């Protein structure tokens, strides 16, 4: 059994693709900040989803976000052997299987001494030849195949092992635990389509930086982004190579 944890704010466009892609998980713990769109309603309509409210009245607070995630994954879990922690725009899958159909069998092959797997994420952009996104076409991740490999995060780990994440979720606080033989592939859809990327990065991110994040220099890559800057970046990647 697999349980997924993710935070959501104004993600109504991405949620149908997120839920479709993560068909292979059994339970979803959604940490939801009050949104301007149908984020909460779309999540609540999936019977796998349990919602925890996270107000964040002062804007994006990465310390608060990771504290809530860490509290959730630290709870004793006698049902799920594996936990997945991703952002709403991160889609991961077992190596070589973007359908996700083999997720459980793949995880059963992980050596018992390995307690965490990295998710290798590709930064994905809309290519000039891509069609509009269509939720009826699966696997959804193969509708956007162009971009570049940009990094990894510890994304999949055994439950009840005491692992805790740092702000940004790029490392564990208490140990370096990632497998050397198994990992997940992934797509980061932050820029997968201008129809949501610009608004999401500017209105829902850059304009919501909390004083706490500024004080601690969290999320500096979001600071001062404007619509023109995001449009220019998207245009630079119209001809990126196929990576998925």
* 134-182 tens-digit pLDDT: 999 999 999 999 999 999 999 999 999 999 999 988 889 877 779 999 9
Evaluate whether residue 243 is within a structural domain: no
Evaluate whether residue 175 is within a structural domain: yes
Average pLDDT over residues 77-90: 98
Are 159 and 3 in contact by the 8 Å Cβ rule? The answer is: yes
**Confidence (pLDDT) at 226:** 96
Evaluate whether residue 126 is within a structural domain: yes
Evaluate whether residue 242 is within a structural domain: no
Evaluate whether residue 26 is within a structural domain: yes
Are 72 and 5 in contact by the 8 Å Cβ rule? The answer is: yes
Evaluate whether residue 244 is within a structural domain: no
Average pLDDT over residues 221-240: 95
**Confidence (pLDDT) at 219:** 87
Query: What is the domain extent for residue 71?
Result: 2-236
**Confidence (pLDDT) at 221:** 84
- What percentage of residues in the chain have a pLDDT greater than 90? 91
**Confidence (pLDDT) at 170:** 86
Evaluate whether residue 204 is within a structural domain: yes
What is the value of pTM for the model shown? 0.96
Evaluate whether residue 241 is within a structural domain: no
**Confidence (pLDDT) at 143:** 98
Tally of domains within the chain: 1
């Amino acid at each position: 059994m697999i349980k997924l944890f993710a935070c959501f704010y104004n993600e109504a466009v991405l949620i149908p693709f997120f839920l479709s892609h993560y068909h292979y998980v059994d339970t979803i713990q959604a940490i939801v900040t009050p949104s301007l769109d149908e984020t909460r309603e779309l999540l609540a309509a999936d019977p796998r989803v349990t919602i925890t409210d996270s107000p964040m009245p002062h804007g994006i607070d990465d310390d608060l976000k990771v504290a809530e995630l860490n509290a959730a994954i630290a709870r004793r879990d006698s049902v799920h052997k594996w936990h997945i922690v991703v952002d709403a725009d991160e889609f991961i899958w077992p190596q070589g299987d973007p359908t996700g159909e083999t997720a459980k069998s793949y995880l059963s092959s992980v050596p018992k001494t390995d307690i965490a797997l990295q998710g290798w994420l590709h930064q994905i952009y809309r290519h000039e030849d891509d069609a509009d996104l269509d939720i009826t076409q699966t696997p959804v991740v193969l509708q956007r195949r162009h971009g570049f490999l940009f990094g990894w995060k510890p994304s999949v780990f055994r439950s009840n092992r005491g692992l805790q994440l740092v702000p940004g979720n790029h490392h564990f606080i208490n140990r370096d635990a990632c497998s050397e033989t198994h990992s997940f592939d992934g797509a980061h859809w932050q820029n997968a389509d201008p129809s949501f990327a610009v608004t999401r990065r500017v209105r829902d991110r850059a304009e919501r930086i909390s004083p706490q994040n500024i004080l601690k220099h969290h999320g500096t890559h979001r600071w001062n982004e404007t619509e023109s800057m995001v449009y220019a970046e998207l245009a630079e990647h119209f001809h990126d190579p196929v990576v998925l």
